[in-house]
Structure 1
Amino acid sequence: MLAICILSAAVHVAQAVPFLIVDLAVPILLYTVAVRHARSVSLGLLSGLLLLVTGWSLYTAANALPVPGLPGRINPTIRQPIGTSPVPSRPPVSVIQQTWSGVVVLGSVLVASWAMGAGARTRSAYLDELHSRAKDLERERDQRATLAVTAERGRISRELHDIVAHGLSVMVAQAQGAAAALEKRPTDTQAALSAIVKTGRDSLDDMRRVLARVDGVEGLDDTWHPQPGLDRLPLLVAQVTEAGTPVRLHVEGSPAALPPEVDLSTYRIVQEALTNTMKHAGTGATADVILRYRDSGLEIEIRDDGHRRTSPHTAGNGLHGMSERARLLGGNLTAGPRTAGGFSVRAELPIQGPNR
């Protein structure tokens, strides 16, 4: 369309017809090209049009032709001395005036049309970039929300698994001991039943606290019942010992203050490892819990001398949960049978948390 309108304007000029309203289609279409096409294309078209306007202006000025649609030429009066013949040494002033009139007026219209179109294209591209960036940010926000939900679901699953598995294991062991001592040692039976009741209540309290965090109900209850940590480790050892599996606790190095997440994960790893010992080590097994404080972090080792009839790798999600806890903190965990018999779990947790 731009080429057709340029051809139409050229026909009007060749026929010395004044510019018509239809010739305004040239700057309008030049604006449209600048909006819809690349800047190199629109600049090329603008340069070609300016060359055409300059060549046409020079041609009309050199041949003293009227410029349709533009003000008439200025004919200055030039006085010559008496007795001399005029010898023009340069083009008349009127030719220069007419040439510059065509180039400046028409060229300014074309340049203004192109500039408005290029500006509109730049603004449109900027708005498109803003919309695209907003969509990317929205997509990234949704992805982060999904990852956060997945991580929270995994955390809740690990917490509930550790709480329920340990509590039920202790309760089952105590119930078996109570049943065995029911006739001959009623005092031991009463102690075992009391331990079952206490373990059940503690497990229910822990489950309520975890589920309250899921619902976003945190506050005073967490203040009175904080998350378990190494300060509750002696109670855990005593609880497992009372359930029938003797446990010895060893601490090497100088105890240091641990971040809350490391403190909780250490307790849960020991708890799950002792739960596996109670479930799989067999009758008469004993266990050792060793905490080694190093400058770089905390080393945890839980080992027993039992004889497993099933592999803990196929017993559930215990080892997977422990490994995931260590990985999230930037540490590592290994587990496997011991050469001397039994099973061991070793974990290394950095005190400063994972590297970011």
Structure 2
Amino acid sequence: MQDAGLAALLLIGTWAVDGATATPVTSGWFAEVAWLRGAPARWVLIGVCIAAVAVRRRWPIPAFAAASLAAVVQMAQAVAPVAADLAVPVILYTIAAQRRREVSLALLGSALAVATAWSVYVALDGRTDGWFYKGPFGVGGEVRAPDFAMFGPADWGGIPVLGSTMVVAWAIGWGVQSRRAYLGELRARARDLERERDQQAALAVAAERARITRELHDVVAHGLAVIVMQAQGGAAAFAKRPADTLAALDTIAATGRASLADIRHVLSASGQIDGPAQPVPGLAQLPRLVEQVRQAGTPVQLHINGSLRPLPAGVDVSSYRIIQEALTNTMKHAGPGAGAQVTVSFGSDELRLEAGDNGTGESASGGTGNGLRGMRERAALLGGEVAAGPGPDGGYVVRARFPLDAGETA
């Protein structure tokens, strides 16, 4: 539709300038005669130019060739330029805006070569440019019929007029293509950034979900293990030692409250609930954890090697949770009468943890549970590692290592 409109506009402009008046005003006497005598042929050439503009997007290179040929024929007939002759630079603009630079430059070079050759030919043929000749014919007032042999072809299609117009048209078309490519690159980059942002958001959500899952697993599993052991012990002692049963119930209540507080801390840290900030568990709370396990009926020995010092928050929390999960597994799977031993070793550039038991439970040979997977994930996020398996003297041992940078603190 746009091409048809432009073609119609050129046709109307051509008719308004060269066809609507009886006497053309855009050329000399010879061009006037040529127009009057060759109107049908001239309009055929104009029609070729108009049709080329109409199909310039569908067949740009053939359209450019046809319009250029029509312009050359008109110049050879020494007729004046018309609006339809703008088809040549218009189609060249289209090619420069849509095709590869090599193609448009090749066509521009070829057209300029033809225009240059045409200008040289017109300048050296020894005849007058028929378009510019004003007359009259004859000498001393005598008017004779024109001698057409003295007139040569017109040069408006050479370098000065049509050549410079084609250069400008190509430059504009190439600028349009460059800007279109630049905007396309910006849009593609924006889409890539948006896609990357969505991926990062999805990864962040998945990481946060995994973190909450690990935290809830450690908190709930440990609390329930303590509650179950206290409940079993209280039930067994109810008949003969009611006081022990009451103590077990107190421990169950305290463990439940502590577990609820830990769950609330996990959810508040993720923004799921509102509430005051809860203290983050760390190795400073390790003695309380060991005492809680002892009260549940599992003997635990705690050893600290090296100089105590503040730890990065991530290492501190993960160390606590790993030991908590190891003791929970001891209570759940090590079997009756089993004891545990926890060792925390502070090195100059690393922190080592070891939690083992002397039990004979079935889990002593396991290593694929959710708890162990959570331990390994915690350590891997901080550049550490976790190894779990049967101990050299029986039982089950969990060992963890975290690298520490010199001077790194919470």
| 1:246 paired residue among 299, 322, 328 | 299
- State the AA in 1 paired with 2:270: V
Match of 1:79 in 2: none
CA drift at 1:183: 1.4
Partner of 2:223: 167
Letter in structure 2 aligned against 1:29 = I
Q: Which residue of the other structure, out of 270, 276, 297, is the alignment partner of 1:221?
A: 276
| C-alpha distance in 2 between matches for 1:340 and 1:314 | 18
The Cα of 1:257 is off from its aligned counterpart by 1.0
Task: Give the structure 1 partner of residue 199 of structure 2.
Answer: 143
- Report the Cα offset of residue 204 of structure 1: 1.0
- Which of 314, 318, 322 pairs up with 1:265? 318
Amino acid at match of 2:92: L
State the match for 1:307 in structure 2.
360
Seen in structure 2, the aligned counterparts of structure 1 residues 336 and 9 have a Cα distance that, compared at 3 Å, is same
Counterpart among 56, 67, 75 of residue 13 in structure 1: 75
Q: Determine helix, strand or coil for the equivalent of 2:308.
A: coil
Given that 1:276 and 1:312 are in contact with CA atoms closer than 8 Å, whether structure 2 keeps it comes out as: no
2:156–2:162 Cα contact (<8 Å) kept: no
Deviation for aligned residue 1:252? 0.7
Partner of 1:85: none
- Within-5 A mapping of 1:176-187: 176-187=232-243
**The 10-residue stretch of structure 1 (152-161 or 313-322) with the greater mean CA deviation from structure 2:** 313-322
- Would you say the 8 A contact 1:312–1:319 is kept in 2? no
Q: Where in structure 2 are the equivalents of 1:55-66 lying within 5 Å?
A: 55-66=117-128
Which residue of structure 1 lines up, in the alignment, with residue 395 of structure 2? 342
CA contact under 8 A between 1:245 and 1:285: conserved in structure 2?
yes
Report the equivalent of 1:87: none
- Judged with a 3 Å threshold, the aligned counterparts in structure 2 of structure 1 residues 308 and 12 are, in CA distance, closer, same or farther, namely same
C-alpha displacement at 1:313, in angstroms?
3.6
Shift in CA distance, 67/270, structure 1 to aligned 2, threshold 3 Å: farther
Partners of 1:163 and 1:310 in 2: CA distance: 20
Name the CA distance, whole Å, in 1 between partners of 2:310 and 2:294. Answer: 27
Deviation of 1:314 (Å): 6.8
| Range that drifts further, 163-172 or 102-111 | 102-111
Residue of structure 1 aligned with 2:112, choices 34, 37, 50 = 50
Give the corresponding residue for 2:94. Answer: 32
Number of aligned positions between the proteins: 326
Tell me the SS of whatever aligns to 1:221.
coil
Cα distance per residue 1:214-242 (max 9 Å; x no partner): 33556x611xx211111110000000011
Question: Any unmatched runs of 5+ in structure 1?
Answer: 74-97
Cα-to-partner distance string for 1:150-196 (whole Å, 9 max, x where unaligned): 00000000000000000000000111111111111111111111000
Residues in 2 aligned to 1:233 and 1:66: alpha-carbon distance in whole angstroms: 109
- TM-score, structure 2 length as denominator? 0.76
Provide the rounded CA distance (Å) in 2 between the counterparts of 1:184 and 1:246: 23
Q: Which moved more, 1:135-144 or 1:173-182?
A: 173-182
Instruction: Provide TM-score, normalisation by structure 1.
Output: 0.87
CA-atom RMSD, angstroms? 2.2
